[in-house]
Structure 1
Amino acid sequence: MATRMKLKLKTVFVLYFMVSLMGLVYALMQLGQRCDCTEHDLPKDRTISRLRGELHRLQEQIRKSEATKQPQKQPAKPSQPTIFVITPTYARLVQKAELTRLSQTFLHVPQLHWIVVEDSPHKTPLVSDLLVKSGLAYTHLHMPTAKDRKLQEGDPSWLKPRGVEQRNEGLRWLREDRRAQPGGDTQQGVVYFADDDNTYSLQIFEEMRDTMRVSVWPVGLVGGMKYERPVVEGGKVIRFHTGWRPSRPFPMDMAGFAVSLKLVLANPESCFDGEAPMGFLESSFLQGLVTMDELEPKADDCSKVREAICVCVCV
């Protein structure tokens, strides 16, 4: 009887041990498995996705707003003379790119009025749209070049002067507009002729602003030379460093001078002569306005290049 009791207790103990061991093994196996928390993560994932979508939408709104935003022009200083820039332009593949580059430069110049004159019988949408979006004070004109003065296909660029009618049209508008203003004949200002395929240093605009009659400075990369410039002694221009026809009355490039608005208004007949010999276009305009002795050298007595036909160089 006692022996049977021992066997039963031993059997119960073994069974208890086996069950406990199996339970322990099962518990250990469960510890290594991932918890299925999908149902808890779903709401959080949806919130993150919604916030990301909202962020993307706001970023798109900001980007579109910046793209359509008008650039802000530099504020003018009190009583600062206005610079009137006359630019002739004509239709070609790079016209929009070159006008855009020029307008971006002018945005950094306070108190500037851009007069753009198209070589066309009418204003074109390309130039009109560009000027509207430029953020500049501007006047849009047009004046076609006479057929007998137009370059024909295959003609060298120097054969006939370009931009004559357009510059003269800009001068005509400027004279009529200023005279229509109260005290217009005595208004302070400067007139500058800026071609759309040139590059300009911002410094020269500030230097030309106090022009009394005609101010001058060097021009880089012109006429096959690194630069052309007036030669100055004792604060006066005595001659010109140029690669072609230094005997011309004013042997300099269109980009190398600025004229007082008062002087332009006081000489209503002064204009560019389309029949002038090659290289004499600038002289045809300046001869009726000033003498060499009256020229006002800028850019440290014309020792620094402020404007360049291809690339701006300041040395």
Structure 2
Amino acid sequence: MPPLPCTPDDGAELEEEGQETWAEGSLEPPEYSRGHEWREADACVLQQELVAGAKPGVHLAGLLTVPRTATPLRLWLSWTPQTCFRNGWVVSAGNEELWVQPALEMPKRRDILAIVLIVLPWTLLVTVWHQSTIAPLLATHKDDGSDPRRDAPPGTDPREYCMSDRDIVEVVRTEYVYTRPPPWSDTLPTIHVVTPTYSRPVQKAELTRMANTLLHVPNLHWLVVEDAPRRTPLTARLLRDTGLNYTHLHVETPRNYKLRGDARDPRIPRGTMQRNLALRWLRETFPRNSSQPGVVYFADDDNTYSLELFEEMRSTRRVSVWPVAFVGGLRYEAPRVNGAGKVVGWKTVFDPHRPFAIDMAGFAVNLRLILQRSQAYFKLRGVKGGYQESSLLRELVSLSDLEPKAANCTKILVWHTRTEKPVLVNEGKKGFTDPTVEI
């Protein structure tokens, strides 16, 4: 911008707010007073003097702001054809202060305020998010008065030691996430999962694996029934720690149904009395004409379940069915479904003429049907092996009533995996390891 034509002797005197004089023939002066912004002298030198004794001769250019104070100010403005400076100074005398800054380079105060109002909320939001997300992961347990900075043990790589700490923090976070079931919904039917169990070396491992699956299923009630004269501390503690909605029952299979020691009569399938106790509990808990939507599923603790299976069975109207893998000496057994989507038979080798040639993990029953057919139980005696499922289902539905799930029984969503019995020959008769340690 070229310098404005200026007359060195031209000037203006401001003694009080709103009073001004200007030399004839000079540029038309702007109106200004205390607190007014003056922007006309971009190419001139502004010389100013405060009545209180500020030293004259300070060269200023650009924006002139006269502060509002009680003490009268006198400003002498003179124009000179010199090159203007593009910096600002603060000139003070007593409690008076004059701030000048270039008008073309510095934004107005209202612009600065707008920027602050925009940036400040985002800064606060990012800070709160950072603290709520990162801080819990960095928290470590420490004794009172101890130094939170721990030194690596002698002979340990500090990098490996720090990595171990990060692993611990990650485990804590994962435990927090996976020990909370999904929120309960008032619209979804409740799935009542009936699981008979008994004491054995792998019992806790089986129940833990199953609990980790059920924790991801919304609106689930776990009915665990122990084959024992009383509820065992191991199972009670495990169920309590899962955070699931559960009911813990127990009933011991009578000794006259057993042969040698814990060996059971093969004519009495394991879990029969436990499943029947769960059915009785449901009928005693819910009235016969209950409008409570729900589904009953008999899920043994030695199976593996897809989460998709539980969503499939939730819409069961009467009895729904699907394939089960690794049963009957086959890769899988499945209902035979025709083109109309109706079950017409069974894909199985073992006694395919059974009324319902299906595994216990291959069907679910609507809760209302269980409540209305109070006579329907698993038969304890007089039933051949493999006919337990048929003894219950024939009291509830016919073959044509079955509802095929899992893409018309073409998808495998449950596996009868079974946990291998551990070989503990090195324990000896007296036991090598501490028997009080819970496994």
TM score, norm. by length of structure 2: 0.55
The amino acid across from 2:277 in the alignment is: E
- Seen in structure 2, the aligned counterparts of structure 1 residues 153 and 66 have a Cα distance that, compared at 3 Å, is same
Q: Is the 8 A contact 2:293 2:367 kept in 1?
A: yes
Q: Which structure has the greater CA radius of gyration? A: 2
| Match for residue 220 of structure 1 among 306, 325, 328 | 325
Q: Distance in 2 between matches of 1:295 and 1:191?
A: 15
Taking the TM superposition and a 5 Å limit, the aligned residue runs for 1:1-315 are 52-53=149-150, 69=176, 71-150=179-258, 152=260, 159-179=267-287, 185-233=290-338, 234-275=340-381, 276-310=383-417
Distance 1:129 1:184, change over 3 A: farther
Question: Could you say if the C-alpha distance between residues 117 and 208 of structure 1 is closer, same or farther in structure 2, counting changes exceeding 3 Å?
Answer: same
For 2:259 and 2:295, the matched residues in 1 are separated by 31
Higher helix share: 1
Report the residue type matching 2:411 in the other structure. K
Deviation at 1:269, TM superposition (A): 1.2
The aligned amino acid for 1:194 is: A
Q: Is the 8 A contact 2:257 2:264 kept in 1?
A: no
Instruction: State the shift of 1:261 in Å.
Output: 0.1
Q: 1:258 to 1:151 in 2, by over 3 A?
A: farther
- Give the CA deviation at 1:65: 6.3
Quick one: distance in 1 between partners of 2:237 and 2:185?
28
Please list the CA deviations of residues 199-234 of structure 1 after superposition, one character each: whole Å capped at 9, or x if unmatched. 111111000001000000000010111000001011
One-letter code aligned to 1:172: R
Q: Deviations over 1:240-298 (max 9, x none)?
A: 00120011110110000000000000011110001111111000001100000000000
Structure 2 distance, partners of 1:244, 1:169, is 28
1:52 counterpart SS class? coil
Q: Contact conserved, 1:151 with 1:160, CA < 8 A, in 2? A: no
Q: Which stretch shows the higher mean deviation, 93-102 or 302-311?
A: 302-311
**Uncovered stretches (5+) of structure 1, i.e. residues with no partner:** 1-48
2-structure distance, mates of 1:159, 1:119: 17
Deviation sequence 1:175-217 (CA, Å, 0-9, x none): 11122xxx96221100000001111111110000010000000
Q: Distance in 1 between matches of 2:299 and 2:240?
A: 19
Q: Alpha carbon RMSD of aligned pairs, Å? A: 2.8
| Contact kept in structure 1, 2:289 and 2:372, CA below 8 Å | no
Percent pairwise identity: 49
| Aligned equivalents of 1:226, 1:61: Cα separation in 2 | 40
Distance, in Å, in 1 between the alignment partners of 2:264 and 2:273 is: 19
Measured after TM superposition, the shift of residue 59 of structure 1 is: 7.9
Looking at structure 2, the residues matched to 74 and 82 of structure 1 have their Cα atoms a distance apart, in angstroms, of: 13
Cα pair 2:309 2:413 within 8 Å, conserved: yes
SS in 2 for 1:300: helix
Is the CA contact 1:214–1:258 (under 8 Å) kept in the aligned structure 2?
yes
- Residue 304 of structure 1 aligns to which amino acid in structure 2? K
CA distance in 2, matches of 1:218, 1:60: 40
**Residues 267 and 384 of structure 2 are in contact (CA less than 8 Å); yes or no, is this contact kept in structure 1?**
no
Aligned residue for 2:256, secondary structure, equals: helix
CA distance in 1, matches of 2:395, 2:343: 18
Q: Displacement of 1:83 after TM fit?
A: 0.0
Aligned partner letter, 2:180: Q
> How many Å separate the matches in 2 of 1:126 and 1:95?
9
Alpha-carbon spacing, 1:62–1:146, altered in 2? closer, same or farther (3 Å): same
